[in-house]
Amino acid sequence: MGFVKEFRDFAVKGNVIDLAVGVIIGAAFGKIVSSLVEDVITPAVLAPALKAANLDNLSALTIPGTAIKYGNFLSQVITFIIVALVLFIIIRVVNKMKKKEEAKPAAAPVPTKEEILLTEIRDLLKNK
């Protein structure tokens, strides 16, 4: 019974649940970023370059006389750079928003009744 209880306590802890939610949200966000890069940004960036090289597809780039397709490799490198850039910009914006929230000064805490009473007693003792 001890093992089952210990496992239940571990599995229901807030940290494990928070981690699971983070992984799920991360996977969904990853799909959004991948779609943005693959469906919007990469075609917009590569279309002019492919037209200039008279190519329909980047994977058509090969070393003549070999089976080496360096076009696929270039495509993956370009995709990685674009994904890294997009994530950097997103994280930068999020960090700026957090800094603005942190920059707001916190309101001074209202003293409790005990603190007010102690302050009055201190002031009376000073005056004597």
In a domain, 108, yes or no: no
In a domain, 17, yes or no: yes
Domain extent for 6? 2-94
Beta-carbon count within 10 A of 59 CB: 14
Report the distance separating Cα 71 and Cα 57, nearest Å.
8
Q: With contact defined as beta carbons under 8 Å apart, do 46 and 78 qualify?
A: yes
Using one digit for the tens of pLDDT, what is the confidence trace for 93-116?
888 888 887 777 777 788 898 998
Using one digit for the tens of pLDDT, what is the confidence trace for 12-70?
776 777 778 888 888 888 888 888 877 887 778 777 877 777 777 766 677 777 777 77
In a domain, 116, yes or no: no
- pTM (two decimals): 0.49
HSE (side-chain half, CA atoms, 13 Å) at 99: 6
In a domain, 15, yes or no: yes
Say how many domains are in the chain: 1
Our CA angle for 8, 11, 13, nearest 5°, is 105
**92: part of which helix (H) or strand (E)?**
helix 70-103
Chain centroid, CA 54 distance in Å: 38
Beta-carbon count within 10 A of 82 CB: 19
In a domain, 67, yes or no: yes
Report the distance separating Cα 102 and Cα 96, nearest Å.
10
Q: What is the CATH number of the domain that holds 86?
A: 1.10.1200
Q: With contact defined as beta carbons under 8 Å apart, do 15 and 69 qualify?
A: no
In a domain, 70, yes or no: yes
In a domain, 42, yes or no: yes
Report the distance separating Cα 14 and Cα 99, nearest Å.
26
In a domain, 31, yes or no: yes
Report the distance separating Cα 83 and Cα 77, nearest Å.
10
